[in-house]
Amino acid sequence: MRQNLVAGNWKMNMTYQDGLALVSEITNMVADEVAAPNAPQVVICPPFPLLHGIGKLLPQGSRFHLGAQNCHHKESGAYTGEVSAKLLASIGCEYVILGHSERRQYFREDDELLGQKLKAALAAGLKPIFCVGESLDTREMNETFDFIGKQLQDGLFHLSNEEFDQVTIAYEPIWAIGTGKTASSDQAQEVHAFIRERIARAYDAEAALNTTILYGGSANAQNARELFAKPDVDGGLIGGASLKSRDFTEIIKSF
């Protein structure tokens, strides 16, 4: 189902104590607001050890949801140090980020592995937030659309219609992540519209209209409103600015 959504990807930041304090601040600041009709769903994606504690702080049945930043591709077994999708679901996780460029780059996650992770997440009842996005080189060579088309085709469009229904897509240009150099709202809109068109081709027009597509990459309290005003931008996947309660709350209110 297409919805306005803001997800905070904390990456490898925060201690347990700081994380709980941050979430308490955010839920208090957001609860003070009368929910606007287009108020977004909010997904908090902290590191694994914080998930359970933060889950307990999120008001039940509210617009706050819990998300993980990764999961293993097998259901269970001898995989020392790994975390299964099933375990995540059992502690109240609803979402999982997959295909983030940092995991593709630093942990060599390729389309085949991501395909298995998508299946494992979906089998456990988690909703994947699947990331795509081009490097600066790719953009400068005018290959952005080919590159993202291939990421979608090889990484995501093998899912069945029912499986694809559960997926949120995040467009995160690598050159904008953590650089303070955000894509312009027009650049974001252009790629989001392209993604929607490719979904229509791979599935159907209804699937394209129903897919939530987020923008990520140096989104902040100053630029969120302009980005979210674009017709194909349904919200954001926020890194740095999700670590500050005031900034993140401002972004949540930017619809």
Known binding positions for substrate: 9-11, 178, 218, 239-240
CB nearer to ligand 13P: pick between 86 and 101: 101
Q: Exactly one of 55, 128, 216, 235 binds ligand 13P (CB under 6 A); which one?
A: 216
> With respect to ligand 13P, which residue has the nearer C-beta, 37 or 106?
106
3-state secondary structure 53-102: HHHHHCCCCCCEEEEECCCCCCCCCCCCCCCCHHHHHHCCCCEEEECCHH
Choice from 44, 121, 219, 251 touching ligand 13P (CB under 6 A): 219
Burial 81-118 (b: 16+ CB within 10 A, else e): eebbbbbbbeeebbbbbbbbbbbbeeeebebebbbebb
140 catalytic? Reply is no
Q: According to the binding rule CB under 6 A, does residue 107 interact with ligand 13P? A: no
Positions in 9-28 near ligand 13P (CB under 6 A): 9
Binding window for ligand 13P (CB under 6 A); candidates: 48-56, 161-169, 188-196, 238-246: 238-246
Q: Choosing from 72, 100, 102, 109, which is the catalytic residue?
A: 100
Burial class (CB in 10 A: 0-12, 13-18, 19+), 57: middle
CA dihedral 193, 104, 223, 66 (to 10 degrees): 100
Binding flag, residue 46, ligand 13P (CB under 6 A): no
Q: Which is nearer to ligand 13P, 40 or 239 (CB)?
A: 239
Residue with the closest Cβ to ligand 13P?
239
- Closest-CA residue to 232 (of 205, 201, 196, 202): 196
Measured from the CB atom, the residue of 122 and 237 that comes closer to ligand 13P is 237
Residue 84 as a binder of ligand 13P (CB under 6 A): the answer is no
Reply yes or no on whether 100 is catalytic: yes
Residue located via tokens 């990421």: 151
* Count of residues near ligand 13P by CB under 6 A: 14
Does 99 engage in binding with ligand 13P (CB under 6 A)?
no
In this chain, which stretch among 80-88, 108-116, 187-195, 234-242 interacts with ligand 13P, using CB under 6 A?
234-242
Site for ligand 13P, rule CB under 6 A: 9, 100, 172, 177-178, 216-219, 237-241
Query: Which residue numbers are catalytic?
Result: 100, 172
